[in-house]
Amino acid sequence: MRVFLVAGEPSGDRLGGALMEGLKSLVPDIEFDGVGGPLMQAQGLVSRFPMSELSVMGLVEVLPKFFHLKRRIAETAQAVLDTQPDVLITIDSPDFSLRVAKQVKTRSNIRTVHYVAPSVWAWRPKRADKMAKVIDHVLALLPFEPPYMENAGMECDFVGHPVASEPVATDAQIAQFRADHGLGDAPILLALPGSRRGEVDRLAPVFGAALDLYLKDRPDMRVVVPAVAHVADTVAAHVRSWPGQPVVVDPRNIATDQAVASKRAAFAAAEIALAASGTVSLELAAQSTPMVIAYKLTWLTQKIAERMVKLDTVTLVNLVSETRTVPECLLDDCTPEAISAALASVSGAPDAQEQAMAITMERLGRGGEAPGLRAARAVLERMTP
């Protein structure tokens, strides 16, 4: 069996790696091709080009790279057509992935699967109808998503999220992490300003100013900043002026499994986290780390988004748990003052998020079959005549 996979950012690489591991366990002689990051490469994928080329977010931010991305779309679609895999699996990054799927479907009958249902329940509900023209089967991360996809005419299975099956860092691993980075027994604040260069450039100055305010009353607290490989230099440059003697956890030049374990230990060691909006909220919830979410967009992208988004929260922990326990400082509210106040509020009652995080992990599949294996089984079962 031959599978062509396409992922465009670290969260997709995480999903793809778990899916590939599941597929390998069910079909030992499976062959992979496509585009992915270090976790997918660790499962045997030789990426056709660096996945980091696709890590662009925002309507305005895409414009400077439009022609390059257009070439990569055509190149990737042609590779699928040339190799004729049994299935094309695109993972999130819909602006890229679904354009690849469209070109493939226009010129072939290759089966298409998209991993991560579009959030039509939040904005642009018509996306599901358009997607149904090029996608046969959707793998959904959230339990309430399948009806939206099925109503548009696609097969859909809720498979949970791989983060729910990942281990919690042990006391020994946390102690080793502290020792490795010279942190002693100091309380730790985790700062996560994003996985794309543009969002790091927007958020890091705001995060730094917020920490200047917050840490005035916590001079003993250390700041730890786990970085994604392709933005590690950007992160390091920004945090040099931050308070809290920042430690940047750089995954480059170490084995992938070691980098993953180090990041997990950092999350578990933290007393509190300040993070960009995204999948990272689930990673924090998996390690029971209380959090504040903050995010800002470019002015034009923000104005467009304000007209389209129809939810009162963007944080997955809040959505899945059906609570609003994770504070959000978004768009115009993404200010040092608001973020510092939110951090103080969470620090004053860190257990308030505990139940919401536990509910989130349970609903995403913790305690059941590994989501990556569930996703692999769903792909294979839907392919069977």
pLDDT in tens, 195-254: 889 899 999 999 999 999 999 999 999 999 999 998 999 999 999 999 999 999 999 988
Name which of 27-31, 37-41, 254-258 the model is least confident about.
254-258
Are 116 and 91 spatial neighbours (Cβ–Cβ below 8 Å)? yes
pLDDT in tens, 147-179: 999 999 999 999 998 889 889 999 999 999 999
Cβ neighbourhood burial of 101 (10 Å; 0-12, 13-18, 19+): buried
pLDDT at 69: 87
Name which of 118-127, 210-219, 260-269, 313-322 the model is least confident about.
118-127
Question: Which pTM value belongs to this model?
Answer: 0.77
Residue 61 pLDDT level (bands cut at 50, 70, 90): low
Q: Does residue 305 register a pLDDT over 90?
A: no
Sheet holding 291-295, edge to edge: 247-249, 222-226, 188-192, 272-276, 291-295, 328-330
Mapped onto helix, strand or coil, the DSSP state of residue 170 is coil
Q: What percent of the chain has pLDDT over 70?
A: 92
Q: Does residue 256 register a pLDDT over 90?
A: no
pLDDT in tens, 106-148: 999 999 999 999 887 655 678 899 999 999 999 999 888 999 9
Hey, which residues does 2 pair with through a beta bridge?
31
The rounded radius of gyration (Å) of the Cα atoms in the chain is: 20
Q: Does residue 4 register a pLDDT over 70?
A: yes
Only one residue has tokens 């992990």, namely 361
pLDDT at 59: 44
Average pLDDT, the chain: 91
Q: Does residue 313 register a pLDDT over 80?
A: yes
Tokens describing residue 344: 């103080």
**% helix / strand / coil in the chain, to the nearest 5?**
50, 15, 35
155-158/188-192 β-pairing: unpaired
Contacts with 155 (C-beta within 8 Å, 6 or more apart), sequence order: 136, 137, 138, 149, 382
Give exposure, 8-40, as e/b (b: 16+ Cβ within 10 Å).
bbbbbbbbbbbbbbbbeeeeeebebbbbbbbbb
Give the H or E element holding residue 358.
helix 354-363
Residue 67 pLDDT level (bands cut at 50, 70, 90): confident
Tell me the backbone φ, ψ of residue 287, rounded to 5 degrees: -100, 10
